[in-house]
Structure 1
Amino acid sequence: MESRQLEAFAAVISTGSITAAAQLLARSQPAVTRLVQELEAEIGYALFSRNGPRITPTEQGFLLYDDVERALGSLRKIRERAAEIARGDARPLLMAAISSLAVGLLPQALRQVENRLGPMPIQLRTALPEQVAHAVLSGAVQLGACSLPLAHNGLQVHWIGELACVAALPAGDPLLAHDVVPLAALAQRRIISMNSTSHLRHRVDSVLAQAGQTVGPGRTLIETNASVNAQALVRAGLGVAVLEPLTALGTPLDGVVVRPIDVHIPFFFGVITPQSRPLSAAVQAVIEALLQAAAVLPGFVQHDAADHAALLQTVYGDETSATKVSRKASR
């Protein structure tokens, strides 16, 4: 396969037609058609179904597209980096983070770093926790900000933080009469929850079960994969939510009020880098700035990286193990 063929295939998918793809690539329509046909001959199956002037991706075409886009994205990065090296530009600071940390901590930390070191090229992407860890392990990024679990051969955990989850309520909700919202009252409402694969969802469900609480009769769940989505659903009056506090702090929404809960549901997070690589001054500065930004948040607790296994036990094991973890206040 040639990159020209892959670029033509991706352009036809993204634009929806040979004509638009040709304009995007600054090529003739026959040239784009020929490149796609050569790719189909190379792989042995049709990527598009053709009905007169209309062209529609086949199922195999859709399946291949995701991998082609990733490959082309990597190639674009190589080209950009080669040009940066030729110009003598500084290496970009490459980071990956879960969305809550990307909106709740990283902006303040990066502002602090640039105030100290000056403006620098930065690339930040958001991803699921497992994808953040993989990006650090593979060397695709220099630093990851992620929720637990963090420990893995090849990763260095620099610090672990803990914040208590909060209740997100629509403005005017009767539960706002409480300075601290009872978990039992939340359980009787329609709950907007993270999806079943989320670590936070596991903790919320576990605490509800330990407290003998179940979702009230006839109250269906709404599931989503992002706290910011949950906040929007709360604002629309579709239910209440139990969330990590960073999204609410980083992207507060009018019409959504946050309150503490009477049961402690911990949200653990931390910073990871590749174990075998020396840290640049910029990466070290971000690690320190993230901790400083977290330390000023209400109720923040810092844990040693060595406490990782014990902290996981508090989340997935018995509740009494929480007393076995030695914790130190961030101050």
Structure 2
Amino acid sequence: MGRPMNSKQLTAFRAIMQQGSMTDAARQLGVSQPAISRLVRDLEQSLGFRLFERRNSRLYATPGGRAFYREVERHYCGLERLGRSADRIRMMKSGQLRLGAAPLFATTVLPQVLARFSLGRDEVALSLGAEPTPELLQRVAAQTYDLGLAELPAETGAVRIAAAWRSELCCIAPAGHRFAGLDRVRVEDLDREPYIPVGSADSPGYQRLERLLRDHLVRPDERAGADQCGVAMALVRAGMGVALVDPFSARQWSAEGGVARPFAPALPFCLGFVLPDIRETGALEQAFIDSFEAQVCTELALQPIEPEDASRV
């Protein structure tokens, strides 16, 4: 084999095979016929065999030429597939997005966001996993997940916060509870009220609420505690008391017919998307963050905050 073939030679050969003559091929490519002839001659020298032969002033492909054309077409079809794949990736309609989230988000808001995001993205492989926050952050850092949604603040370590929002805790109570007559539940309303504390005693949110109760000399009738909002909702449903939960759980509770009211003074609830700190936000990940913000933030009055502000809540 002589000199390596090049794309111009292959393009000229393909045009001749498709058009049936060098004249028509030259017209299609916008070059002169001598230029087409030279490209084909150089290609034949590179290959070491004839591609065409002339009979009665007409050009015919040799058996080797026809076999080589089949391979060239496979090559061009592969290039076209690559081009279409690139278009889908550019339009964020292809690829993979592995989402991880704290159970709170994985069982309330994210399924609906994920369902809407999937529309028109049949070739995007989507998945959703639920992990406690410490394990979630570790798996995001290890790139087991491409994107994670976590309650903040948290020990982010080897991950970074790509986007963060702030809202407020809400008070939930069973249907028919006296809180249904209030526009807003105040901390004083919890005095001697059957109450379900949520979260671990060493969490910032739990400690913030405990300080608030002490400062206002309020002593709820604490019943069974719950480690997460889903458990608290089940206990409230069973008549064990009222609870303070995140806005996602409160929305779900209200949709089920329960009582959900704002709480005063406001207690912040922050959340954010996290990524491995070794890379930038990908286009598909940013598209999902944007979709989440468009679908959820207005409805639940989530206020965007700077990532560093989430650690100071």
Alignment TM class, shorter chain as reference:
0.5 to 0.7
Of 95, 112, 126, the match for 2:116: 112
- TM-score when normalising by structure 2: 0.63
CA distance change for structure 1 residues 116 and 188 in 2, over 3 Å: closer, same or farther?
Answer: farther
- Number of the residue aligned with 1:128: 132
Of 197, 201, 205, the match for 2:206: 201
Of 89, 95, 105, the match for 1:101: 105
CA distance change for structure 1 residues 196 and 121 in 2, over 3 Å: closer, same or farther?
Answer: same
CA distance change for structure 1 residues 309 and 245 in 2, over 3 Å: closer, same or farther?
Answer: closer
Hey, what's the Cα distance between the residues in 1 that align with 2:229 and 2:310?
A: 24
Q: Structure 1 residue 161: deviation in Å?
A: 0.8
Report the 3-state secondary structure (helix = DSSP H, G, I; strand = E; otherwise coil) of the residue aligned with 1:163. Answer: strand
The question of whether the paired residues in 1 share the 8 Å contact of 2:190 and 2:219 is answered with no
Q: Which amino acid aligns with 2:115?
A: R
Q: Structure 1 residue 162: deviation in Å?
A: 1.0
Report the 3-state secondary structure (helix = DSSP H, G, I; strand = E; otherwise coil) of the residue aligned with 1:172. Answer: coil
Of 284, 287, 301, the match for 1:285: 287
- Number of the residue aligned with 1:243: 245
Q: How does 1:56-71 map to 2 (within 5 A)?
A: none
The Cα offsets for residues 107-130 of structure 1, whole Å up to 9 and x where unpaired, read as 232233223534532221112221
Hey, what's the Cα distance between the residues in 1 that align with 2:174 and 2:253?
A: 15
- Number of the residue aligned with 1:15: none
CA distance change for structure 1 residues 251 and 122 in 2, over 3 Å: closer, same or farther?
Answer: farther
* Greater mean alpha carbon deviation, residues 160-169 or residues 196-205: 196-205
The Cα offsets for residues 163-221 of structure 1, whole Å up to 9 and x where unpaired, read as 11111111111222111112211232111121424443233223222323222xxx333
Of 300, 305, 308, the match for 1:306: 308
The question of whether the paired residues in 1 share the 8 Å contact of 2:194 and 2:222 is answered with yes
Q: Structure 1 residue 226: deviation in Å?
A: 2.1
CA distance change for structure 1 residues 250 and 120 in 2, over 3 Å: closer, same or farther?
Answer: farther
Q: Structure 1 residue 153: deviation in Å?
A: 4.2
The question of whether the paired residues in 2 share the 8 Å contact of 1:231 and 1:256 is answered with no
Q: Structure 1 residue 244: deviation in Å?
A: 0.9
Report the 3-state secondary structure (helix = DSSP H, G, I; strand = E; otherwise coil) of the residue aligned with 2:135. Answer: helix
CA distance change for structure 1 residues 279 and 117 in 2, over 3 Å: closer, same or farther?
Answer: farther
Q: How does 1:167-182 map to 2 (within 5 A)?
A: 167-182=171-186
The Cα offsets for residues 71-124 of structure 1, whole Å up to 9 and x where unpaired, read as xxxxxxxxxxxxxxxxxxx76421211122223332232233223534532221
CA distance change for structure 1 residues 259 and 150 in 2, over 3 Å: closer, same or farther?
Answer: same
Moved over 6 A (4+): none
Unaligned regions of 5+ residues in structure 1, if any?
Answer: 1-89, 312-331
How many residues matched?
Answer: 219
- Number of the residue aligned with 2:163: 159
Of 140, 143, 163, the match for 1:139: 143
What is the alpha-carbon root mean square deviation over aligned residues?
Answer: 2.3
User: Bigger radius of gyration, 1 or 2?
Assistant: 2
The question of whether the paired residues in 2 share the 8 Å contact of 1:160 and 1:270 is answered with yes
Unaligned regions of 5+ residues in structure 2, if any?
Answer: 1-93
Q: Which amino acid aligns with 2:130?
A: T
CA distance change for structure 1 residues 222 and 253 in 2, over 3 Å: closer, same or farther?
Answer: farther
The question of whether the paired residues in 1 share the 8 Å contact of 2:179 and 2:259 is answered with no
Confirm whether residue 214 of structure 1 aligns to residue 219 of structure 2: yes
Q: Which amino acid aligns with 2:174?
A: P
Q: Which amino acid aligns with 1:206?
A: R
CA distance change for structure 1 residues 289 and 99 in 2, over 3 Å: closer, same or farther?
Answer: same
* Greater mean alpha carbon deviation, residues 301-310 or residues 191-200: 191-200
CA distance change for structure 1 residues 290 and 199 in 2, over 3 Å: closer, same or farther?
Answer: farther
The Cα offsets for residues 41-89 of structure 1, whole Å up to 9 and x where unpaired, read as xxxxxxxxxxxxxxxxxxxxxxxxxxxxxxxxxxxxxxxxxxxxxxxxx
Hey, what's the Cα distance between the residues in 2 that align with 1:94 and 1:203?
A: 33
CA distance change for structure 1 residues 298 and 153 in 2, over 3 Å: closer, same or farther?
Answer: closer
Q: Which amino acid aligns with 1:280?
A: G
- TM-score when normalising by structure 1: 0.60
